Structure 1
Amino acid sequence: MPSRINIAGHPLHPMLVAYPVTGYTGTLVAFAVYGASGDQFWLNLAIAMNVAGVGGALLAAMPGLADAVYGIPNRTAARNVAQAHGALNVLALVLFAITLGRYAAHWNGPPVSAVLGIVLASVGVVTTAAAGFLGWILVQDYHMGVRLTEEQRAAEAEVVNHQVIHMPRRHAA
């Protein structure tokens, strides 16, 4: 499935995901060092990395959403994976936005506990890693954003047509 948002045929979303991953990881590391040292520099770095992570996530989400909505057929396994990938990324974004809201006012002090920042950033990084795993499934198994040859494209169309998922209805107990 080709990417709908690309530069010279190269999908934009995978190019941008490094920014939130780096920002989120940097936030966690800086909070951990701040928690151990109490040095204001590390809190400021955590805040700055958090801003970079949240901003990068918002930037990466736009082409990712467009690729999911316009590039993946409805009622396919790939669409289900894309929805889970997006939901986990939104959850991580919310966790880091809450963290940013809690700590941004402490740029100039006074000292504040790092515990909440470490907990939220830890859960956010794990959530981001799970979302990344699903993103890789989209590339590896469903060839999202991969430029295929004509033979590969024909074979993929046949596979996608056979992967239509019929969700069973849940009955009230």
Structure 2
Amino acid sequence: MGREPAFRIVRWELKVLYIVVAWIVGYALIDLLDALGAPGVALEIVNTIVNLAAFALAVRIFRGRGEPIDPPRAWWRMTAWPTLSRRLGILCSVLAAMTVLGAILGALGVTALPSGVTLGLGVGTALQFGLLAFLYLNSAVHMARLGIAKPERLRPTIRLS
């Protein structure tokens, strides 16, 4: 008896669906805990754990075009190609910086924090983005060092003759 094939998501539409469902599940869980009277710090901790768990699972099951499907990814590999890892790392870095700036300005009273947003939530969100930035940029560096690069053509040339 052979090993069961690994569950992988390759199509971008299904990746978007995964992200939307993970976000809805996380939001519903936090809303439920809030309705049950959980303290704010517990909501922030659960939110962080749910978000990071959803990312960790996505990194393990998402596959890029041309990337081997069955073998598990190396622990440090976040995406199929270094360019995407680098771009997502930069995006997460910018989001972390913006979140920190917003939290600082809100704490100083320069700007009002949006309704329901606390300084703790801002710090938690900044830490999440900071961790993801580090992981994505680390992935890009590892792949570049190993010479992993996206092939120029992932689709075969179609000939009509």
- Same fold by TM-score greater than 0.5: no
TM-score normalised per structure 2 = 0.37
Higher helix share: 1
TM-score normalised per structure 1 = 0.35
